[in-house]
Structure 1
Amino acid sequence: MAGGTFTSHNKVRPGAYINVRTNNLNVTNEGISGIVTIPIVLGFGPEKTVIEVDSGTNFNRIFGYSLDSPQLLLVREALKRAGTVLVYRVNEGTKASAELAEELMVTAKYGGERGNEISVVIQPNVDYADTFNVLTYLGVDLVNTQLSVEGAADLIDNDLVTFSGEGNLSTTAGITLSGGATTDALAGDYADYFNAIAVYDFNTLALPIDDQTTKVAGVNFIKALRDQEGKKCQIVISGYRADHEAVINVKNGVVLEGGTILTPAQAVPWVAGATATAAVNESLTYFTYEGAIDVHPRYTNSEIITSLNNGEFLFTEKRGTAVVEQDINSLVTLTVEKNQEFRKNRVLRVLDDIANNTKQVFEDNFIGRVNNNADGRGLFLANRISYFTALQDLGAIEDFSSDDVSISLGETKDTIVMNAIVKPIDSIEKLYMTVVVQ
């Protein structure tokens, strides 16, 4: 569906075009929630494909690794908070293979070095003469069993391998595949990812990489989604001062239980997951990073203040845990249309929810279905008043009245114009206390 921002009433496609701004420089969510997308480099799994996973997914069968493996650390950190992760294997590789019998080949389903740890065992079936059981292993784990196989024509591809050719089966203690190789991801691979994920709905994009050129491409991609497609989402990166409310710039990492040190880039997925899951009435300030016992590196008070002023999202140590110092994005340049409040992610979540929800409701219930007369506009007005009232009941906005929303006929007969005034609520973060001793 069409959407985005507007400068004049000259749009061609039907859709909801929404501007959000402030008017000065004073210092129920029906949409998606808890969805993170992340591109990762892996040694196995579907290449250049968006795969939806959650904490209950069988990762071994899809990616060749368990969720607690080092290879899936980034996904594991995202799932500490996210309900759903859209994983995209951004690299490719050479498929491992082996000869099971003369003219009969077994080949890893996907390219990559993990395919070299796949083996196939052929055993005689004790119940049916002249048939075999074919077992597929990943390392020491049995992944697939085919019983009573008579010949090559009866073999069925499974999650790990494909079979090809002809030939007679014979007993073998185990044939291990070889020749699998993993290739690195290049800039063009990440461009493919941005194109692929653009048609999906998500709250945050985690980009845990070091390449600055790809970071710039990712930031520009999210800006385009917000301004041209009307999809209000954020990107989480590290080491890049984007000076934009849609970009969260992670400054440091954490130390996990057991001593594993996560770099800022490796902490990006957790921040993306926590941000995606946070409600419109919730701030991540002083939010605890699950499983973390310290931050790395630590910073002094003056360094923390400098980082916050630079729009950097950082962790601080608090009594044996790692907490979010302040839930902010990278915006530092304030304007008449984007004041200090736009730096706070809680406020931005409210504004983004208003835009996303209005777009969704308008597309699903009003475009092409409702007359553009007083009654039709009144229906949309009533819907929006109900929505803003629900936000106020949640503690996301305050001081709202029905007079704060107006809907009128636009410049053409198929256009309506909506104006709304909202006052987002932020969380308590600072205490100034004076104690008088008598």
Structure 2
Amino acid sequence: MGGSTFQAGEQKVRPGVYVRVTNIGEPAQAIVPQGIVAALFKASWGPLRTHTVLESVNSIADNYGANKETTDTIDTITEAFKGGCSKVIAYRLGTGGTAASLILKDTNTSPANVVTITAKYAGTRGNDFGVILRDSLTDATKRELLLYEGVTLRQTIAFTKGATGDGEPAALVNAINASNSPYITASKSADGNKILADISTTQKLTGGLNPTVASGDYTTALSKIETIDWNVLVTDTEDAANHAAIKTYIDRVRSEGKRVIGVVGEKTSIDLATRLSDAASFNDPAIVYVANGFKGSDGVAKEGYKSAARVAGMIAAADITDSLTHTIVANATEVVGGLTNAQVEQAIQAGALVFTMNANKQVQIEYGITTFVTPTADMDAGWKKIRRVKTRDNLMDRIAGTWDPLIGKINNSPDGRATLIAAAQGIINQMVAEGALLQGTIFEDTNNPPIGDSAWFVVQVDDLDSAEKVYINFQFRFSPTA
């Protein structure tokens, strides 16, 4: 049959027509995930020491319950979504804790403990669960367990009635576990007389305790989320030592190719001079420090980790051509920890991001800056701006992601290196068209000629900034000249 395939350099024995398919176009450009916030927080419910991908604010309660101001910091996630991010990598912090439980009995004269109902996760939320156990109202062959949270019916689980076969304890346990309930699990401790006693008024689960959270839990969490794609990190901690650990972590993973940004914040109860000193001490283009806060339309103050989470969501949501400078904060009504003009200027000079009121009495981000305040020979002033950090990171991610599949697949020859250059130049040109770059080029590094399996390249680009300082010279005169 004509047209069978051949490999490069292969010579067939039989005469005939042989074909081979190759790609003469540029390699596909890498798709760089955007809009994702990683959030570390405390909660009274949910998977512990592991991550959950949340795609909307509506998924928070299902996975982690409702926020309780005294102990929970689930609003870390809520604020990130309010900032506009598309996804949250949610990680519940802590170790230990206890899941609430309830023991069900049989109908013997001396009742035996036969079934244990256990909350699915450790934490105090389970103490709000209660059960009623009764005959089914619609099927004489069934009984049912009604699970309430407070006065809200969360789930109804039917099971076979009577002592025949394995009996009611086994039937209930099997029904609960087969339902894959998001709230409870069950285990059988004994058969008893195989008939479960009725529970006519709600009987609560008890003993639920929240996990404890220490500084080491943040370090553990950071290591667990390291291999997952995300763009901006925020945590519920306002502790300076934990902030320092976050900076160390962000700097390390960036050096290893994970170009991400961390956002931290402190409450306005801390002296402003201390806050600004803390911001300046980071001096890091990948760390954003939020120095004050705002009130939401509900009248609740959002400062510290909460305002940091809102900014994290806004950074993640922003396109690489978007600046956060003078961006309006959705549903914010007033600034918490308002600053004078002189204080705003001091904050900017310290690399602190602050909220101010605009001329229309809307809460805005004053200046979309990082904590980078001291340019170096290798790091110019462009790294002070969140927009330019995102643009530069995106350029590096796109080129690296596009080149990576080619490693080991092309020759270190002029043609092979030209393939790499063409792919990278295509990305640069695309980013020029997107409005992220003004111009740019890539070429081989003449100071480091290729050798063996190594080749060196130089990318030179002019990345764009937003028009953020506009000066107008108004010229007036009392009367026109004759």
Shared fold, TM over 0.5: yes
* Identity across matched positions, percent: 25
Distance (Å, rounded) in 1 between the aligned partners of 2:400 and 2:293:
36
Q: Based on CA coordinates, which of the two structures has the bigger radius of gyration?
A: 2
Contact persistence 1:123–1:134 (CA under 8 A): yes
CA-CA distance at 1:133 after TM superposition:
1.4
Which of 435, 443, 447 aligns to 1:406? It is 443
- CA RMSD, 1 decimal: 2.1
What per-residue deviation string (whole Å, max 9, x for no partner) do you get for residues 165-210 of structure 1? Answer: 1443232132210111113310111111011011111110012312
**CA 1:410/1:230 → structure 2, altered by over 3 Å: closer, same or farther?**
farther
**CA 1:372/1:138 → structure 2, altered by over 3 Å: closer, same or farther?**
farther
Which amino acid in 2 is paired with 1:35? I
Contact persistence 2:101–2:208 (CA under 8 A): yes
Distance (Å, rounded) in 2 between the aligned partners of 1:373 and 1:147:
71
2:366 aligned partner: 325
Which amino acid in 1 is paired with 2:392? L
User: What is the DSSP-based 3-state SS (H/G/I as helix, E as strand, rest coil) of the residue aligned with 1:192?
Assistant: helix
Contact persistence 1:65–1:71 (CA under 8 A): no
Which of 329, 336, 341 aligns to 1:296? It is 336
Structure 1 position 310 matched with structure 2 position 354: no
**CA 1:100/1:320 → structure 2, altered by over 3 Å: closer, same or farther?**
farther
Distance (Å, rounded) in 1 between the aligned partners of 2:301 and 2:58:
26
The gaps in structure 1 that reach 5 residues or longer are 1-27
Distance (Å, rounded) in 2 between the aligned partners of 1:142 and 1:116:
15
Higher relative contact order (CA 8 A, sep 6+): 1
1:160-239 residue pairs with structure 2 within 5 A?
160-165=183-188, 166-167=190-191, 168-173=195-200, 174-227=202-255, 229-239=256-266
1:80-119 residue pairs with structure 2 within 5 A?
80=82, 81-92=84-95, 93-101=97-105, 102-119=113-130
User: What is the DSSP-based 3-state SS (H/G/I as helix, E as strand, rest coil) of the residue aligned with 2:458?
Assistant: strand
Distance (Å, rounded) in 2 between the aligned partners of 1:133 and 1:58:
28
Contact persistence 2:42–2:74 (CA under 8 A): no
**CA 1:311/1:233 → structure 2, altered by over 3 Å: closer, same or farther?**
same
User: What is the DSSP-based 3-state SS (H/G/I as helix, E as strand, rest coil) of the residue aligned with 1:383?
Assistant: helix
**CA 1:59/1:349 → structure 2, altered by over 3 Å: closer, same or farther?**
closer
What per-residue deviation string (whole Å, max 9, x for no partner) do you get for residues 69-95 of structure 1? Answer: 985322111002110001100024211
1:153 aligned partner: 170
CA-CA distance at 1:410 after TM superposition:
5.8
Distance (Å, rounded) in 2 between the aligned partners of 1:396 and 1:162:
52
What per-residue deviation string (whole Å, max 9, x for no partner) do you get for residues 15-46 of structure 1? Answer: xxxxxxxxxxxxx9830100000110101111
The gaps in structure 2 that reach 5 residues or longer are 1-28, 106-112, 162-167, 267-277, 478-482
Structure 1 position 75 matched with structure 2 position 92: no
**CA 1:67/1:183 → structure 2, altered by over 3 Å: closer, same or farther?**
closer
Moved more, 57-66 or 389-398: 57-66
CA-CA distance at 1:418 after TM superposition:
1.9
Which amino acid in 1 is paired with 2:142? T
Contact persistence 1:253–1:265 (CA under 8 A): no
Moved more, 41-50 or 148-157: 148-157
What per-residue deviation string (whole Å, max 9, x for no partner) do you get for residues 291-346 of structure 1? Answer: 10111111000000000000001110123321010000001111111121110111
1:13 aligned partner: none
What per-residue deviation string (whole Å, max 9, x for no partner) do you get for residues 119-148 of structure 1? Answer: 122221234335211222222222222223
Contact persistence 2:30–2:402 (CA under 8 A): no
Structure 1 position 258 matched with structure 2 position 262: no
Distance (Å, rounded) in 2 between the aligned partners of 1:67 and 1:84:
22
1:367 aligned partner: 407
Structure 1 position 277 matched with structure 2 position 317: yes
2:48 aligned partner: 47
CA-CA distance at 1:253 after TM superposition:
0.6
Contact persistence 1:59–1:66 (CA under 8 A): no
1:3 aligned partner: none
User: What is the DSSP-based 3-state SS (H/G/I as helix, E as strand, rest coil) of the residue aligned with 1:255?
Assistant: strand
1:354 aligned partner: 395
Distance (Å, rounded) in 2 between the aligned partners of 1:67 and 1:212:
24
**CA 1:410/1:117 → structure 2, altered by over 3 Å: closer, same or farther?**
farther
**CA 1:56/1:185 → structure 2, altered by over 3 Å: closer, same or farther?**
closer
